[in-house]
Amino acid sequence: MLPELGHVALILALLLAFLLGVLPMLGAQREHAALMATARPLAYGQLLFIAIAYAVLTHAFLVHDFSVAYVASNSNSLLPLMYQVPAVWGAHEGSLLLWVLILGLWIGAVATFSKSLPMPVLARVLAVMGWVSFGFLAFLIFTSNPFARLLPAAVEGRDLNPLLQDPGLIIHPPVLYTGYVGFAVAFAFAVAALIGGKVDAQWVRWSRPWTNVAWAFLTLGIALGSWWAYYELGWGGWWFWDPVENASFMPWLVGAALIHSQAVTEKRDSFRGWTLLLAIAAFSLSLLGTFLVRSGVLTSVHAFASDPKRGLFILIFLGLVIGGSLLLYALRAPREEQGQPFAAFSRETFLLGNNLLLTAAAAMVLLGTLYPLLAEALDLGKISVGPPYFGLLFTLLMAPLVLLLPFGPLTRWQREQASTPLRMLAPWAGIALLIAAIAFFTSANAGWKTIAAYIVGAWLLLGTLRFVRQRFVQGKGRFTAEMIGMCLAHSGVAVFFFGVLMTESMSIEKDVAAKPGQSFSLRGYDFRFDGVERSQGPNYQADRGTLLVTRNGKDVVVLHPEKRAYASGGSILTEAAIDGGPGRDLYVALGDSLDDQGSWALRLHVKPFVRWIWFGALMMALGGFTVAFDKRFRRAVGEAST
C-alpha cells in the first residue's frame, strides 16, 4: 500500500510543480499580487510531497520490501544498515528521485531566504524553477517510476552493486547533485531577468551567493567522486577523463567562469550579456551531463540501464531548456553594453581572460566527450578519445591561467599602469623560481613536471599572499568575506596544481607476481608480501593479504588489501589498502591468485602528494562557501526591497 502512496505523492508534486510554473509567472506578468503570492506555498507544497515520496522509498529499503522492483534489484536482506539508506540512490530511479528532492530543497531555500526580493522577481524565479522541477518529475513518473511493483514479489533482493557499498557512496551523489542542481538557481534568476526585461546588475547581486554555494558543492562532489575512484576502483588513479567525469567537469569549468563574470557584472555593470549566457550554459551543461549519464549513450561506470525512451525524453527536455533560453536571450538580451568602459590593462581584462580560458577548456572537454558519439552517428567507426588529448590541451589552456591568476586581484578596475602589478609581483616570481631551482637540485628523479609543480604552486600561493599583504598595507587589514573566500580558493588552486603535477611526475606503479616472503622496493620503500588468508565479512568473503612496508629497515605500516566475493550475484571487488599522509600515499591492491604455492598478483603504488589534489579542491569549495556569506549580498538585497 505504501509504495502506491509514494507514487501518488509524486503525481501530486508534479501537479504542484505545474501550478508553480504557471500561476506566479502569470501573476508577475499581470502584476496580480494574489497570484504571485502563491509562489511560496506552492514551492513548499511540492517539496513536501517529494519528501513524502522519498521517505516512502527509504522505508521500503529499510523493511526490505522486495515487492518493489527497484528495492528488489538494489538491496538484499544481508545489506548492512548503513548502506540501506544510501541504497535509495544506488541506481537510476532512486538517484533521479534524490535529484528531484534536492531541486525541491533548492526551491524551498530560495523561497525561504529571499524574503527581501521584490515579489515579481521572486515569483518569476520560483516559476522557472517550477518548470525545471516539472520536467524532472514528469521524467521520473513517466519513464522511471521507482515504485513499480514486482509481481510476484522477490524472495530475496539482488543486492546493491558492491562497488557502491562504501562510505564514499553515502556522500558523493547527494553533494554532487546539490552542486549540479544548484546551477538551476542562477539559471532561474537569469531567465527571470530576461522575462522581466530588467537585465541589470541587480539580478546578479541576488544570484551570486547561490552560484557560489552551488559551485562549491559541485567542487566537493567532484573531489569526493575522484577520491572514491582512487581507493575503490583499485587502479590508484584519481582522474580518468571518463565521459561521466567530464560531464561533471564541464559545468564546473563554466561555473568557475560564471562566478568570476558575475563579480564583474555586479561591481562594474559590464559583461551583462556574457554573464547571462554563462548562467544558461552552466545549467544546460548540468542537464547535458544528466543526459550523457542516464541515457546510456556512453559507456561508463555510472551508466545505469540504457533505455531509449529515457534518452529521448531527456534529449527533448534538454532541447527545450537550451533552445528556449537561448531564444529568450536572443529576443531580450541587452543590446548595448552600458557598463563602465575599461582600458586594455585592467582587472576587467584579466577576468575576461579567465573567462575565455575556462570556457575554452569546457569547450575542449565537450568536443572530446561528444566526438565519439558524433563519429558513430556519421558512421566513421567506433572511436574513443584518449586521455592524452585532454591532458595536453588542458595543460596548454591552464598554463596562461596560472600565469595570469595573481595579476587579477592586484590590478585595479577600469584602468591600471601595467608596471604597477608587475613591480609588485616581480620579487615573488623570483622567489618562486628560486624554490623551483632548489627543489630541482635537491630531489631525485625530478622531471620538468616536478619543476613545474614547484613553480606553479609557489607562484600562485605567493601571488595570493602578495594580495593579502596589500590588504594589510592599504586596507588596514580589513578583509571582506569575499576577499577571504577568493584568497582561500586561489590558494586551493595552488595546492591542487602542486598535487596534480607532483603526483603525475613522481608516482611509481608496479604490477608484480609475489611469492610469500618476497620483497619489492619502490622509491625507498620495501614492501614485503606475507601471504593471503581467508576472512569473513557481513555479506562477503574476502581474501586478505598482508604486507609489511619498511623504509631503511624501520617499520612503516602493515597493509591489508582485500579481494571480496559478495554472497549475492557473485561480484568480486578489490579493496585497496592505503597508508595516506601529507607527503605520500602507499597504495596496495590485490590481484589474482597465481598458483597453488600462495603467489598472488599485487599492484604497488607510491604516490607523492596525491592528497594535495583533494585538499586543494576542498580549499576551493570552502572559498566558494565563504564568498556566499559576504555581508554585502544581504545588505544589497535589503536595500533593493525598500
Partner 1 sequence: MNPIRKRRLWLLALLLLAAAAAATLITKALQENLTYLHTPTEVKTGKVPAARFRLGGVVCEGSVQRTSGTLAVNFAVTDRVRQVPVHFEKILPDMFKEGTSVIATGRMQGDTFVAEEVLAKHDETYMPKEVADAMAKGIAMHTKSCGAR
Looking at residues 46 to 85 of the shown chain, list those that interact with partner 1 (rule: CB under 8 A). none
Of 589, 613, 618, 619, the residue at the interface with partner 1 (CB under 8 A) is 589
Q: Which of residues 317-336 bind partner 1 (CB under 8 A)?
A: none
Does 255 sit near partner 1 (CB under 8 A)? Answer: no
What span, in angstroms and rounded, lies between the C-alpha atoms of 334 and 322?
19
Closest to partner 1 by CB, 392 or 558:
392
| Nearest distance from C-beta of residue 418 to partner 1, angstroms | 18
573 binds partner 1 (CB under 8 A): yes
- 63 vs 418, which CB is nearer to partner 1? 418
For partner 1, the closer CB: 382 or 478 = 382
What is the gyration radius of the CA atoms in the chain, in angstroms?
Answer: 26
Rule CB under 8 A: is residue 399 a binding residue for partner 1? no
Q: How near is the Cβ of 304 to partner 1 at its closest, in Å?
A: 9
Q: What is the DSSP string of 117-133?
A: S-HHHHHHHHHHHHHHH
| b/e burial code for range 185-211 (CB count within 10 A of at least 16 → b) | bbbbbbbbbbbbeebebbbbbbbbbbb
Stretch that binds partner 1, among 75-83, 392-400, 487-495, 551-559 (CB under 8 A): 392-400
Sign for the CA dihedral angle at 494, 499, 502, 504 comes to negative
In three-state secondary structure terms, 543 is strand
- DSSP character string of 587-606: EEEEEEE-STTS-EEEEEEE
Candidate residues 592, 631, 638, 641; the one interacting with partner 1 per rule CB under 8 A:
592
Taking CB under 8 A as the criterion, which residues in 504-543 touch partner 1? 511-513, 515
Give all strands (DSSP E) within 153-300, no chain letters. none
CB of 380 to partner 1, least distance (A): 9
Residues in a beta bridge with 540: 566
Complex with partner 1: residue 114 or 599, whichever CB lies closer: 599
Cα 99 to chain center, whole Å? 14
* Beta carbon nearer to partner 1, 247 or 297: 297
Span near partner 1 by CB under 8 A; candidates 329-337, 488-496, 545-553, 593-601: 593-601
Q: Is there binding between residue 7 and partner 1 (CB under 8 A)?
A: no
Q: Tell whether residue 371 is a contact of partner 1 (CB under 8 A).
A: yes
With respect to partner 1, which residue has the nearer C-beta, 41 or 569?
A: 569
378 binding partner 1? (CB under 8 A): no
- Under DSSP, the state recorded for 154 is P
Assess whether the previous peptide bond of 86 is cis (omega < 30° from 0): no
State phi, psi for 241 to the nearest 5 degrees: 50, 35
- Sign, Cα dihedral of 335, 338, 343, 345: negative
Kindly write out the interface string for residues 98-137 of this chain, putting x where it contacts partner 1 by CB under 8 A and - elsewhere: ----------------------------------------
- Total residues contacting partner 1 by CB under 8 A comes to 48
Q: What is the DSSP letter of 164?
A: G
Contact flag: residue 224 with partner 1 (CB under 8 A)? no
SS (H, E, C) 63-91: CCCCCEHHHHHHCCCCCCHHHHCHHHHCC
Cα dihedral 108→114→117→120 (10° resolution): 0
Options 275-283, 360-368, 415-423, 628-636: segment touching partner 1 (CB under 8 A): 360-368
* Interaction pattern, residues 288-317, with partner 1; x per rule: CB under 8 A: --------xx-x-x-x-xx-----------
d(CA 351, CA 256): 11
Cell of 254: 563554466
Q: Distance from CA of residue 614 to its chain's centroid?
A: 12
Contact residues for 272 (Cβ-Cβ < 8 A; gap 6+): 199, 200, 201, 265, 334, 337, 338, 339
Query: Is residue 150 close enough to count as binding partner 1 by CB under 8 A?
Result: no
Using the contact rule CB under 8 A, the part of the chain among 10-18, 463-471, 479-487, 562-570 near partner 1 is 562-570
Query: Based on the number of CB atoms within 10 Å of its own CB, is 110 exposed (0-12), middle (13-18) or buried (19 or more)?
Result: buried
**CB 520, min distance to partner 1, A:** 13
Of positions 197, 381, 553, 582, contacts partner 1 by CB under 8 A: 381
Instruction: For partner 1, give the closer residue by CB, 153 or 572.
Output: 572
Q: Compute the least distance from the CB of residue 592 to partner 1, in Å.
A: 6
Q: Show the site string, 596-625: x = touches partner 1 by CB under 8 A, - = not.
A: -x-x-xxx----------------------
Q: Out of 15, 594, 636, 640, which residue is the one contacting partner 1 (CB under 8 A)?
A: 594
SS3 51: helix
- Pick the closer one to partner 1 by CB: 209 or 368: 368
Collapsing DSSP to helix, strand or coil, 312 comes out as helix
Q: Interface mask (CB under 8 A) for partner 1, residues 155-194, using x and -?
A: ------x-x-------------------------------
Q: Which is nearer to partner 1, 11 or 312 (CB)?
A: 312
The sign of the dihedral angle between the CA atoms of 374, 364, 395, 498 is negative
3-class SS of residue 148:
coil
Q: Contact between 395 and partner 1 (CB under 8 A)?
A: no
Which residues make up the interface to partner 1 (CB under 8 A)?
A: 161, 163, 234, 296-297, 299, 301, 303, 305-306, 360, 364, 367-368, 371, 381-389, 392-393, 396, 511-513, 515, 563, 569-574, 589, 591-592, 594-595, 597, 599, 601-603
